[in-house]
Amino acid sequence: MERRESARDTLIGDNRRKWLHRAINLRESRLQKAFRLIAEEPPGRFLDLGCGAGEFSARFRALGWRVCGVELIEAQAARARALGIHAVAGEVSSGLPFLAEEFDLVFAGELIEHLLDTDGFLAEIHRVLRRGGALVLTTPNLASFENRIRLFLGRYPNWVDVRLGSSGHVRAYTPRVLMAQLAAHGFRVERHVGNWVPLIPQRFVDDVKCPWLQVTGDWWPGLAMAIILKCRKPSP
């Protein structure tokens, strides 16, 4: 138990250092597609887990959503509060400070891969999400086209490390594995899309420089760089 707690504390400290000055690019196809999936829902109570400085979820306030957030770094949570988000500083896998069935929608963008206790994380999301509510979750795709080529050539996949390296990722998902884990926690997967497929290695081109690449993530979501899932907590 002590070793597990030590590993958890080391991971949290590492993530704090990495993401202290984190900034996101709202032009990323991952965020644009997540935005569209969320915007399909009628406005209600929105929870952004790992909300950062609130740039993404603040857009939903203008659409009538009441937005809350949880962020590991207090300085980032303060920036989110300046945008009108009720953001609290905390570590998401240790329990969420909200009532059962308090939210209509939960967004967890590029977060689950940083957590040791992914089952506890999904159980907490299920607890705070109302029946019939939606979860939109994104995470890197271990089985992306580029990673399949890298493994075929005997190279290590992107965004995976044997230590707490530059990515800070400690979990790696394929779409099928993530869907199975979500189903085990009572979620029904409704939509699976990808951000973009790296037909050319990402160090040469990306979906911000070439927005037309977004369509490849719709054609071949299982080969895309990121997994984007929309799930539902079933009604009685």
pLDDT tens, residue by residue, 89-143: 988 877 899 999 999 999 999 999 999 999 999 999 999 999 999 999 999 999 9
The terminus-to-terminus CA distance of the chain in angstroms comes to 38
Residue 1 is predicted with a pLDDT of 52
If 0-12 CB within 10 Å is exposed, 13-18 middle and 19+ buried, where does residue 93 land? buried
The total number of structural domains in the chain stands at 1
Helix axes 118-128, 175-184, angle to 10 degrees: 50
Read off the CATH number of the domain in which 133 is found: 3.40.50.150
**Calpha distance 193→185 (Å, rounded):** 21
30-48 b/e with 16+ CB inside 10 Å = b?
bbebbbebbeebeeebbbb
Return mean pLDDT, the chain. 90
Higher model confidence: residue 201 or residue 177? 177
- Give the structural domain span for 198: 2-232
Task: Give 43-65 pLDDT, tens digit per residue.
Answer: 999 999 999 999 999 999 989 99
Report residue 158 as tokens: 């992107």
Q: Which of 159, 233, 139 is nearest to 190 (CA)?
A: 233
Task: Give 202-230 pLDDT, tens digit per residue.
Answer: 778 888 888 899 999 999 999 999 999 99
